[in-house]
Structure 1
Amino acid sequence: MSNTRPVLHFIAGKVGAGKTTLARKLALEVPAVLICEDQWIASLGGEVKELRDYVHATTRCRKLMVPHLRDILRVGASVVLDFAGNTPRDRAWVRGIFEAAGADHVLHVLDVPETLCLERLRQRNAERPEGLFWGEVSEALFHEVTKYYVPPTEAEGFRIVRHDVTTNEE
């Protein structure tokens, strides 16, 4: 067994910023166990059509995942958490997990212009790529969700890696 601590990677970024794409890439590169919130919520059932549906579903999913995530980290496996770390409350939830497990962490922040996020959202809605667990996300829902996005600051005390994305090629 390695002497290095397992790492919990998590991601902050608006809808359409590329959180799931980055999570999949990180899981292969690290390597790490990939845990995708959207996949778990879809498997647990219940339709998500508006923000309050998502809030209910994510609350249920996160309660279920805490002991599972701690156990994975405690046995020495790193994890890429494809759960949005978009608010101080979200990030505090993740902090509780990695601290309880004695793991390290990296918060990946996707700095993507809103216009590019919307372009990607339109493309995703049109193409319905494999691995997409929700139906169409409207621009109205994008704007509603984006109101709650709070970029992390150094004062929160996370090890932050910023990913600046300016084109749809990345």
Structure 2
Amino acid sequence: MATLYFLCGKMAAGKTTHAKALAAQTGALLFVQDALLETLYPGEILTLKDFERCAGRLQAALAPQIKALLRRGLDVVLDFPANTLKQRAWFRELFEAAGAAHELHWIDTPDALCKQQLRQRSAHLPPGTPWTSEAEFDAVTAWFQAPDAAEGFRVVRCPRA
């Protein structure tokens, strides 16, 4: 049975790094939302509303293909945010429709470390670039909902200090 691996964690928590390592470790196919969005919508995602619109289109386009891959027995890692109940519902629909197993990897990183990593990864970008400041971190993190046992996911907690 195939497995859908997906991740939650705050901005700059290390989700993409973890997703790449997980895909290498399991031999799974890896889809990275940020890279796909940048390729499909270069320079168009300037606000949270832009992100939601473009990410929604991407999810709608990929969902049938992801389900097909899982049905064929191929493991998939989705480096897409599973940071809210609503976002996690999309992942549930994918693995349940495909009859696949799943793992939700929670990259549990303290805010201070996330902010430090955000500064490091944004250092080469021009000031004011979206998604690079502590203000953007705080705005996005306000929406984060840690996974709860009542949701019924198989959670793999990956604490970072």
TM-score when normalising by structure 2 = 0.93
Q: Find runs of 4+ consecutive structure 1 residues off by over 6 angstroms.
A: none
Partner of 1:86: 83
Residue of 70, 75, 85 corresponding to 1:73: 70
Q: Which structure 2 residues correspond to residues 117-136 of structure 1 after superposition, within 5 A?
A: 117-127=114-124
| Alpha-carbon distance in structure 2 between the residues aligned to 1:72 and 1:136 | 31
Match of 1:150, SS? coil
Distance apart, 1:35 and its partner CA: 0.7
Number of matched pairs: 157
Cα offset, 1:137, TM superposition: 1.7
How big is each residue's C-alpha offset from its partner over 1:44-83, in whole Å with a ceiling of 9 and x where there is no partner?
Answer: 1252122111111111111111001001111110000000
Q: Is the 8 A contact 1:34 1:80 kept in 2?
A: yes
1:54 matched residue in structure 2:
51
- Structure 2 CA distance for aligned equivalents of residues 9 and 127 of structure 1: 31
The equivalent of 1:145 in structure 2 is 140
Q: Which runs of 5+ in 1 are unaligned?
A: 129-133
Equivalent runs, 1:26-45 vs 2, <5 Å: 26-45=22-41
**In structure 2, do the counterparts of structure 1 residues 154 and 136 end up closer, same or farther at CA, with 3 Å as the change threshold?**
closer
Amino acid in structure 1 at the alignment position of 2:160: V
Q: 2:47, 2:10 → 1: CA distance?
A: 16
Alignment gaps of 5+ in structure 2: none
Query: Could you say which residue in structure 2 is the equivalent of 1:10?
Result: 6
Amino acid paired to 2:29: V
SS of equivalent residue, structure 1 residue 10:
strand
RMSD (CA atoms): 1.4
Q: Are the aligned partners of 1:51 and 1:141 in contact in 2 as well (CA < 8 Å)? A: no
Partner of 1:63: 60
**Aligned partner of 1:163: which letter?**
C
What SS does structure 2 have at the residue aligned with 1:14? coil
3-state secondary structure, aligned to 1:92: helix
Are 1:106 and 2:103 counterparts?
yes
For residue 154 of structure 2, the aligned residue among 149, 159, 163 is 159
